[in-house]
Amino acid sequence: MEDIVELDSGRVLGRTFEKYRLFQGIPYAAPPVGELRWSSPQPVEPWPDVRDATAPGNPCPQLPQDFADIASLDEDCLFLNVTAPRGGGRKPVMVWLHGGGGANGEGAIFDAHRLAAAEDVVVVTPNSRLGIFGNFGYPGLAGGGGFGLEDQQAVLRWVQRNIGEFGGDPGNVTLFGESYGGLNVSAHLVAPGSAGLFHRAIVQSGFALLHAPANGWAPGSPELPTMWMSTVELEALAEHLVGELGWVRPGQGPAIEQLRRVPVEQLVNVSSVFSRPAFGGAVLPESPVPALPAGRFHRVPVLTGGTRDEARLFTALFWDAAGQPITADGYDKLLAEAFDAAADDVAQQYPADAYPTPSVAWADVVGDCAWARSVWDFANALSADTATYVYEFADRDAPPVVPFPPGFPPGAHHSAEVPYQFDLGEPAPLNDAQWRLAATMNRYWANFARSGDPNGPDLPGWPRFSAAEPRVQSLHPDEIAGIDFAARHRLEFWARRVSGA
């Protein structure tokens, strides 16, 4: 059934189903093309007629990857999708920022009808500029490193102006995201321009405080003491790359004008180099690394966590699936390169012969020392100043989001929880117990969106996280209960033996 809604930019035609309404491909900002490439998002030009909103808009420019098989060369991509339950009343709003490594993904692939219809919330899934289009910086370019964040702020302002037409409450907005999306949620907790645009935050595997060891992401990846880059570093990186590629030439006009004329198909080939927002500019003046522990963030309730076996996805994709499975000797070399004098201590805690393969052993090392520590540090940084709830998705039988190499157990890998929340093209192949967990997770998330507290009737109690009671809610089909997260992931060992690793 057709459904027409009037927005501040014009009328849109969506569809109404038995339990929900769906509007797709709604522009929230002007196309960032031509002179608007690498500019702050500008207002949409109103349209006089009813605009068809029954199909998604273009994804932002990207090349397909194993983990995100999406391809686009169209910069006209600033669209959002709204899934709303049927029925009256003002409903909580949940704005989802997708993952995908910072250079891939789109909002439309996250079918939110289960969450919206069952939990009576309005869900918004936007696109924002990615990679070199969203995180680029260059000397003389205003706003460098923050265009994607500005797009997301434009989405939140669109929500303030228009979400009431879909039954949403602009005074109760939850910003939530996973992986790169979670990293951006963390940035918005600190970004001055995001103040007041959202009222609760959910960070899923967001790695804002992650400290990755050498080879922690992929073979040859350097140690990364922080996931954040300054605008000074960004501009130096961009200037070097632009020089290598010959995109700016003397006598051809101002550098920024020349760069805005570079074809999309050339830019997208190096898009992944610019996969994170930068700090030091007007959009994100300060890195979240010092800001969050110091309490310099917007005081909104936060729900945060990750998966039990985060790093298995990266090790499987970039080592084993790439034809470079880690051998026993290779494992020892990785430990030595990553942990130096503490390598033997790490090997005693994570002996290779205790795992199916050395690759799985390395994945668990990285999962604990980098990902679990990041969740722990993030929770401790926030909990002294705001209500904080922490979870771990622990279903090691979750269906993998991408094919894993034979003999490599996926476990509860990075992003394994997402198909429990959304349908990604089609429902995930979950068994009955897993579907019950999916429903429970969405109930927790929606309760948090309603009140800032995930607890509710007929749900296992979820205590607030604090330094005195640092319990983490383990989400598993067979049991949902508080766990000793620090013990599960050997965090005392990591703090004692390889502090700073």
Residue 168 has pLDDT above 80, yes or no: yes
In eight-state DSSP terms, residue 122 is E
d(CA 465, CA 445): 16
**Which residue range forms the structural domain that includes residue 137?**
1-210+225-300
Domain presence at residue 149:
yes
Judgement on whether residues 202 and 348 belong to the same structural domain of the protein: no
Judgement on whether residues 292 and 313 belong to the same structural domain of the protein: no
* pTM attached to this predicted model: 0.97
Residues 6 or more apart whose CB falls under 8 angstroms from that of 335 comprise: 343, 346, 347, 365
Judgement on whether residues 273 and 396 belong to the same structural domain of the protein: no
Judgement on whether residues 171 and 316 belong to the same structural domain of the protein: no
How many domains are contained in the chain?
Answer: 2
Half-sphere exposure of 293 (CA within 13 A, CB side): 9
Catalytic residue among 106, 235, 310, 417: 310
Judgement on whether residues 409 and 309 belong to the same structural domain of the protein: yes
Judgement on whether residues 113 and 248 belong to the same structural domain of the protein: yes
3 state SS for 234-270: HHHHHHHHHHHHCCCCCCCCCHHHHHCCCCHHHHHHH
Judgement on whether residues 315 and 255 belong to the same structural domain of the protein: no
Does an H or E element contain 390, and which? Answer: strand 388-393
84-128 residue pLDDT tens:
999 888 999 999 999 999 999 999 999 999 999 999 999 999 999
> Which of 278, 300, 322 represents a domain boundary (last residue)?
300
The residue ranges of DSSP E strands in 423-476, in sequence order, are 472-475
Catalytic residue among 98, 199, 414, 489: 414
CATH number of the structural domain spanning residue 482:
3.40.50.1820
Q: If you average pLDDT over residues 51-77, what whole number do you get?
A: 93
Domain presence at residue 434:
yes
Nearest Cα neighbor of 375 from 297, 493, 473, 479 is 473
Judgement on whether residues 323 and 194 belong to the same structural domain of the protein: no
Domain presence at residue 26:
yes
What local confidence, expressed as pLDDT, does residue 446 receive? Answer: 98
Catalytic residue among 179, 374, 383, 474: 179
Domain presence at residue 220:
no
Judgement on whether residues 188 and 336 belong to the same structural domain of the protein: no
Residues 6 or more apart whose CB falls under 8 angstroms from that of 46 comprise: 8, 9, 10
Q: Quick check: is 414 catalytic?
A: yes
Domain presence at residue 216:
no
What local confidence, expressed as pLDDT, does residue 500 receive? Answer: 45
Q: Quick check: is 179 catalytic?
A: yes
How sure is the predictor about 67, in pLDDT bands with cuts at 50, 70 and 90?
A: confident
Q: Quick check: is 413 catalytic?
A: no
